[in-house]
Every structure is written in C-alpha cells, then in structure tokens.
Amino acid sequence: MSQPRQLDNPLYRLLRNEDIAGFNKQRPQEGEIDLSSGDFRGIDLRNLNALHINFTDAYFRGTDLRGLDLRDAKLDGASLAHAQISGAYFPVELTADEILMSVNFGTRLRYRTK
C-alpha cells in the first residue's frame, strides 16, 4: 500500500482546485482515469463524474463525496476517514460495514470476494 500523494496529472490538479465542472468537461470519455494513490483530503467532489476512475489506495479524509455515483470507480485500498458520504453509491463489492469502518476509523476499503 502506498502513501497518498499529489499526482502529476492535469485532471488531478483540477480536482485539487475543486474545479469539478472543468474535470468533467476535460475527462476522456472512454478508458480508465488513473488517480490511484491520490491525496483528496478535505476537498469537495460533489457532482464529480466518477465513471471509470481508479481511486485505488486514494486518501479521502474529510472529503465531501455526497451524492456521488462511485459504483464504477475502483476504491480498493482507499480510506474514507471522516468523509461525507450521504447519498453516495458504492461498488456492490463493498459492504456497508466495510464503508462504515473506513469512514469511522480510516481503515482501507477491502472488496468482498465471492
């Protein structure tokens, strides 16, 4: 597991600056967007189009994720410590207990295996 870091990626910089509309406009329409191990602490990501974003090992401490559809995002190993998650959709592979443990205690998300 890697430490969260500032990414050298123009799309990441848009998110860090809370320019969600700019991110949604500039994001590629196809393929995965790799933002793995990114540091997203304390930013407002509401209205983000999270389709096919790889947030593996990302750090979301205190981030506003309210209302996001994260069902097609990769969140394995991400931490949601004290994030605001009301109304957010999560991948079906993540149990409610797993999400709550991450929000309450900062544990890294682990996908349920079949």
pLDDT digit string (tens) for 18-45? Answer: 999 999 999 999 999 999 999 999 999 9
* Domains annotated on the chain, with CATH: 1-114 (2.160.20)
Q: How confident is the model at residue 3 (pLDDT cuts 50, 70, 90)?
A: confident
Indicate the average pLDDT of the chain.
95
Report the pLDDT value the prediction gives residue 50, as an integer from 0 to 100: 98
- Average pLDDT, integer, range 56-74: 97
Task: List Cβ neighbours of 80 (8 Å cut-off, separation of 6 or more).
Answer: 60, 63, 65, 99, 102, 103, 106, 109
- Average pLDDT, integer, range 6-22: 97
Q: Which residues are 69's β-sheet partners?
A: 89
Single-letter residue type at 22 = G
